[in-house]
């Protein structure tokens, strides 16, 4: 297998190779993580804590300073302190609503369109809960970790409409059941939505190109998807400014920001 890990000066060449791989692929699976939304000013998951502490103008910062988001993302945290957890997720939800899709999101929607136009298959598996891929025009988005825009009763699972601005109480209450609402995201220790994982397994088993973008590849099962794709014989591309635990299994590494690299990649695809 050809190793094309690039230094900065070979990025252009690696992008050209990636363009060829995309043009020639029959079935593409893209996996995204929070790095894709970093250029939309949504802090990556593991940076969120730092961003909150640094942001002195933000009234939430004092409240959040002592909390690690990773410890808030559990059912146990919600059971222990539903007010704190729902405040945190509502703060994130409003940030996501304010954000706009960036050039990376838009480029992925364009790659999907072009792949479909030439009869290829394209599936976007995302660990992001922010809805920005859909807003950028991506058609087939599988939300592996759910959505921060969809909340449900913590007891019955019944979904309900939520306001476009902040909730009035924390935790917010389901209008019919009166029980606390929880965000429709997958917390640590919870199972992924069965439909999403089924689609992921199915498409990975038959893909011939796998592209990992903006994920640290430390959270399973998504971190293991590359190995399933390789077992299916797929070539692999990674877009990330930094190396990750999967970088050793990558054929073409594009070391840069997705909002910068992906638009250049689209140019290489031609019209």
The binding site for ligand APR (CB under 6 A) comprises 33-35, 38-39, 44-46, 73, 127, 145, 214-216, 219, 239-242, 244, 257-259
Which of 145, 174, 202, 227 is an active site residue? 145
| Residue number, 118 or 188, with CB nearest to ligand APR | 188
Residue 145 annotated in active site: yes
3-state secondary structure of 150: strand
Cβ within 8 Å of residue 198, ≥6 positions away: none
CB 152 within 8 A of CB 159: yes
Minimal distance in Å, beta carbon 137 to ligand APR? 19
| Residue number, 27 or 128, with CB nearest to ligand APR | 128
Closest CA to 42 of 91, 109, 114: 91
CB 196 within 8 A of CB 143: yes
| Residue number, 47 or 81, with CB nearest to ligand APR | 47
Phi-psi region of 137 (alpha: psi -120 to 50; beta: other; left: phi over 0): left
Quote the CA–CA distance of 12 and 17 in Å, as a whole number.
9
Rg over CA atoms, the chain: 19
Closest CA to 27 of 244, 199, 266: 199
Minimal distance in Å, beta carbon 132 to ligand APR? 13
CB 61 within 8 A of CB 55: yes
Minimal distance in Å, beta carbon 211 to ligand APR? 12
Minimal distance in Å, beta carbon 122 to ligand APR? 19
| Residue number, 73 or 181, with CB nearest to ligand APR | 73
Catalytic residues: 145
């Amino acid at each position: 297998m050809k190793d094309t890990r690039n230094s900065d000066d070979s990025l252009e060449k690696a992008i050209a190779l990636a363009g060829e791989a995309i043009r020639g692929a029959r079935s593409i699976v893209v996996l995204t993580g929070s790095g894709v939304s970093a250029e939309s000013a949504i802090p990556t998951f593991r940076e969120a804590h730092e961003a909150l502490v640094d942001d002195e103008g933000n009234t939430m910062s004092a409240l959040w300073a002592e909390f690690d988001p990773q410890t808030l993302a559990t059912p146990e945290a919600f059971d222990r302190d539903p007010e704190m957890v729902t405040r945190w997720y509502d703060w994130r939800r409003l940030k996501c609503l304010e954000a706009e899709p960036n050039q990376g999101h838009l480029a992925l929607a364009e790659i999907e369109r072009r792949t479909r136009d030439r009869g290829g298959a394209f599936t976007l598996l995302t660990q992001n809960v922010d809805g920005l891929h859909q807003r950028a025009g991506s058609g087939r988005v599988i939300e592996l970790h759910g959505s921060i825009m969809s909340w449900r009763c913590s007891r019955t699972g019944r979904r309900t409409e939520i306001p476009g601005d902040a909730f009035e109480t924390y935790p917010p209450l389901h209008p019919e059941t009166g029980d606390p609402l929880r965000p429709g995201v997958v917390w640590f220790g919870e199972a992924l939505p069965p439909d999403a994982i089924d689609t992921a397994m199915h498409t990975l088993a038959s893909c011939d190109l796998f592209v990992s973008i903006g994920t640290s590849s430390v959270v399973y099962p998504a971190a293991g998807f590359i190995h399933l794709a390789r077992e299916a014989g797929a070539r692999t591309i990674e877009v990330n400014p930094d190396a990750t635990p999967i970088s050793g299994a990558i054929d073409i590494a594009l070391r840069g920001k997705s909002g910068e690299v992906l638009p250049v990649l689209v140019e290489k695809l031609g019209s």
